[in-house]
């Protein structure tokens, strides 16, 4: 495994500012953008400079640090009141990824306890969220790989790798661990339209680490499964409901249906910060609707007939009944349901 690629991170705190790897221009260029203001951080989240639920949460935590710095400079007395507007700005950047709200809530609780300059304590908390996520990803990689009984091929959707997390990855963390253990022979990656995260990001991560990868359109997945070329579908998640229903990148639900029909196992890998026990079922998860232009245009050029409309949900929901395993840093849930979810979340 390439040590260099392990160290590539989507989110970096450097020289008292936030640096984000601009995932919109990968794999052609590796460019880090620098941020010193919370409004620009929220815009970066919405514009997909950074994406992936864990990475979004980490980014938001660092955004709170920048907000506190500015508000404390504005008023050492009223900064805790003033910063609430910044927290709301961050929260409005993307509605589905619950890690965003988890991180903001964690930082808000800390803010209420602080006196004096808040930056050191908030920065320490943000860095801990970051390092904890990396550790969780490595643990999930071990647990998920242990479910794979023999050398096999897997199919993944979107990007749930180091680029979507603090480092190492959720679904791709399982791939990394499984490949190192000789349990995964080959990765098939959906292109993942319209942002092409599979083509631009997942394939890039796999190539960097010399893990064999083949790219295909989403429409090819059923035929791959019919030919017996896929043993596991392994994906990440942006929010998991209390009953085990899973929101993930649009197209995931279709893969789960195909997997069940073809006898292919379906694994979801996500940290417990992605679990929202306040959401009873998947139908209650807010689904982000993005601009139709993302579907109607490609690289700024129109690809659809003028006058055509487009529907562009960013996520869909896979029922728990179609999920064979949910893997978190706290353990593995086979055939997840509401009771098992409660037991896992209470096992702090």
Output 36-41 pairs: Cβ under 8 A, ≥24 positions apart.
36/66, 37/66, 37/70, 38/63, 38/64, 38/66, 38/67, 38/70, 38/86, 38/89, 38/90, 39/86, 39/89, 41/66, 41/90
Q: What is the mean pLDDT of the chain?
A: 96
For the segment 8-19, the average pLDDT, to the nearest whole number, is: 94
Write the pLDDT tens digit of every residue in 179-227: 999 999 999 999 999 999 999 999 999 999 999 999 999 999 999 999 9
Is 151 in a helix, a strand, or coil? coil
In this prediction, residue 297 carries a pLDDT of 96
The answer to whether residues 160 and 140 touch, using CB atoms and an 8 Å cutoff, is no
CATH code of the region 141-346 = 3.40.50.10470
- Cβ neighbors of 219 (< 8 A, separation 6 or more) are none
160, with CB counted inside 10 A (0-12, 13-18, 19+), is buried
User: So what's the pLDDT on residue 124?
Assistant: 98
Please, which residues have CB within 8 angstroms of residue 39's CB and are 6 or more apart in sequence? 86, 89
Q: Assign domain 3-134 to its CATH architecture.
A: Up-down Bundle (1.20)
Q: Could you give the CA distance from residue 48 to residue 55 in angstroms, rounded to a whole number?
A: 11
∠ CA(175), CA(141), CA(193), 5° rounding?
50
| Residue 8: per-residue pLDDT | 75
pLDDT class for 347, splitting at 50, 70, 90?
confident
| HSE (side-chain half, CA atoms, 13 Å) at 229 | 15
Judge contact between 341 and 333, C-beta under 8 A.
yes
Establish whether domains 3-134 and 141-346 are of one fold: no
Q: Is the pLDDT of residue 275 over 50?
A: yes
Contact criterion met (CB below 8 Å) for 238 and 248? yes
> Can you say how many angstroms the Cα of residue 30 is from the centroid of all Cα atoms in its chain?
19
Which pair of tokens denotes residue 322?
């179609």
3 pLDDT higher than 80: no
Does 276 have pLDDT greater than 50?
Answer: yes
pTM for this one? Answer: 0.94
Radius of gyration (Cα) for the chain, nearest Å?
20
pLDDT tens digits, residue range 281-326?
Answer: 999 999 999 999 999 999 889 999 999 999 999 999 999 999 999 9
Supply the DSSP string of 250-297, one letter for each residue.
TTHHHHHHHHHHHT-EEEEE--GGGEETT--SGGGS---B--THHHHE
Q: What is the pLDDT of residues 38-94, one digit of tens each?
A: 999 999 999 999 999 999 999 999 999 999 999 999 999 999 999 999 999 999 999
Q: What is the mean pLDDT of residues 109-133?
A: 98
Alpha-carbon torsion (101, 107, 108, 109), positive or negative: positive
Q: What is the pLDDT of residue 7?
A: 56
pLDDT for residue 266 is more than 50: yes
- In angstroms, the CA 348 to CA 271 distance is 13
**pLDDT higher than threshold 50 for residue 2:** no
Catalytic residues: 238
Specify whether the backbone of 16 is left (phi greater than 0), alpha (psi in -120 to 50) or beta.
left
In the chain, where are the structural domains located? 3-134, 141-346
Name the pairing type of β-strands 213-216 and 184-190: parallel
Alpha helices in the chain (DSSP H): 3-6, 38-46, 53-74, 79-91, 98-111, 119-146, 171-180, 197, 203-208, 221-226, 252-262, 293-296, 338-346
Q: Report pLDDT for 5.
A: 47
Could you tell me if 150 and 121 are in contact, meaning their C-beta atoms sit under 8 angstroms apart?
no
Rounded to 5 degrees, φ, ψ at 282 are: -60, -35
SS3 label, residue 313: strand
3-state secondary structure of 183: coil
């Amino acid at each position: 495994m390439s040590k260099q690629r392990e160290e590539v991170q989507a989110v970096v705190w450097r020289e008292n500012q936030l640096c984000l790897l601009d995932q919109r221009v990968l794999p052609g260029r590796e460019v880090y953008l620098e941020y010193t203001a919370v409004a620009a951080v929220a815009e970066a989240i919405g514009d997909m400079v950074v994406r992936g639920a864990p990475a979004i949460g980490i980014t938001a935590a660092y955004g709170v640090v920048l907000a506190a710095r500015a508000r404390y400079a504005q008023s050492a007395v009223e900064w805790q009141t003033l910063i609430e507007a910044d927290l709301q700005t961050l929260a409005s950047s993307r509605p589905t990824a619950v890690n965003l709200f988890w991180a903001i809530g964690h930082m808000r609780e800390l803010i209420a306890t602080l006196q004096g300059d808040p930056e050191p304590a908030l920065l320490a908390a943000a860095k801990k969220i970051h390092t904890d996520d990396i550790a969780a990803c490595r643990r999930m990689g071990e647990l998920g790989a242990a479910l794979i009984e023999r050398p096999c091929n897997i199919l993944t959707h979107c990007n749930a790798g180091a680029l979507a997390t603090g480092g190492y990855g959720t679904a791709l963390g399982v791939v990394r661990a499984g490949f190192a253990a000789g349990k995964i022979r080959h990765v098939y990656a959906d292109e993942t339209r319209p942002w092409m995260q599979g083509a631009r990001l997942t394939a890039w991560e796999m190539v960097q680490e010399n893990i064999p990868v083949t790219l295909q359109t989403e429409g090819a997945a059923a035929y791959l499964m019919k030919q017996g070329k896929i043993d596991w579908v392994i994906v990440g998640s942006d929010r998991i409901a209390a009953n085990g229903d899973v929101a993930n990148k649009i197209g995931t639900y279709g893969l789960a249906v195909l997997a069940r029909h073809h006898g292919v196992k379906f694994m979801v890998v996500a940290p417990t910060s992605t679990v929202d026990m306040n959401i009873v079922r998947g139908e209650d998860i807010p689904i982000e609707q993005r601009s139709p232009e993302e579907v109607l245009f490609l690289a700024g050029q129109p690809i659809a007939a003028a006058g055509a409309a487009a529907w562009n949900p960013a996520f869909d929901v896979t029922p728990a009944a179609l999920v064979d395993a949910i893997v978190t840093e706290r353990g593995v849930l086979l055939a997840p349901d509401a009771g098992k979810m409660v037991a896992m979340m209470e096992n702090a």
